[in-house]
Structure 1
Amino acid sequence: MASGGSSGSKRRSSACWRTTKRLPGPRAASGRDDPMENPFGDMERHNKVPRGFLVLVVGLIAWGVYYIAAYTPEISGWSQYKVFARDAEADRAKSAAGAKRMDENPYEKDEKSIVEGKLLYAEKCAGCHGADLEGGDGPTLVGHLKFGEVDRLKFESIAGGRPGGMPGFESELGRDRIWKVLAYVDSVREYGKKP
């Protein structure tokens, strides 16, 4: 027989049953026999809330208080709009630096780079645009260019390609070698040649 039980029967070994005690309920004390007087029985009022659950609830409340204090602009001064504005300004500065770097050909007057550009043109471009830039499968590079005369636009055409058959060469050649090809093409072209 297990000690501490009031029913006189053998106690169960389950952990749940060990933490509860059967005490005489109000029905037994008052002598009433109404089952609706205590519908859940005497066992329910003696079960304690598990400590882990209490720790979880207290932790969630503490986290909520911290979150409200940390992310309410009136309290902390933090605002997602300030973060967004700072990120947008950094992106604008980065793209402006990249655009400035790409606007003009840095190898335009460098003879060594023009010779290297001629070799690259013969290897990669002459098959479609012709050895003398007069065209073939691809359009002519002498005269007016379809996608613009500005160095930046010509660079974009070679780097990213164009619809209708022009592949992009940035991953294959890289930025510097594309600029060298453009330096060669501009040195040979009649229209749009800079003095």
Structure 2
Amino acid sequence: MKDKTLPQLFIIYLRYMLGFAFVFAAIVKIQGLRFTADSGASNPINSAWHYFETMYQSGIYWKFIGIGQFLAGFLLMTQRYAKLGALLFLTVIANIFFVTISYDFNYTPVITGSMLLATILLIIWDWSTFKILFNKTPVLENKKRWEHDKSWEIIGLIMVLITIFSRLELTPNSVLIGFPLLLITGIIGLIIGWKRKKLY
């Protein structure tokens, strides 16, 4: 199955999507800014808002969370280091998922739960390598696959840069420009990757 085109393509773009979500969310934390608006401050029983506010007020811990998210997302988007990224992503998204089901986050657990399942899928995809973590002999993949083409790495790095720029600007225009740029980059990457597929 790992040699088939569509599954490989699905995994490549799943890494991009998950990675983008973390990189985008991490920037404000690294900057030391609030992730959410202060709209919950007027509601004394809004436990979700108070949870985020407590983490924000911690300062260093808030930035540490952001760095962890950024690193996990970045590694996923590079494709080359996606295995390490998936492991880091799993630890972070599992924590986020349990936070969202522990507090009043409305429908957020549906999103975080989906991200957790998607990350588990990435772990299963590379299970032949991850076996070593359970004292089992890993299966080294010597066969060249389309998934490992250099073009995906370049596209991933471009996407990271676009995400960082659009988030740092943090204006309606930069976000409106950033998302279409990511979509266009993804489409261009697909075209380039498809043309290079014959090499594999």
- TM tier relative to shorter chain: under 0.3
| Structure possessing the higher radius of gyration over alpha carbons | 1
Query: Whose helix proportion is higher, 1 or 2?
Result: 2
**TM-score between both structures, scaled by the size of structure 1:** 0.26
**TM-score between both structures, scaled by the size of structure 2:** 0.25
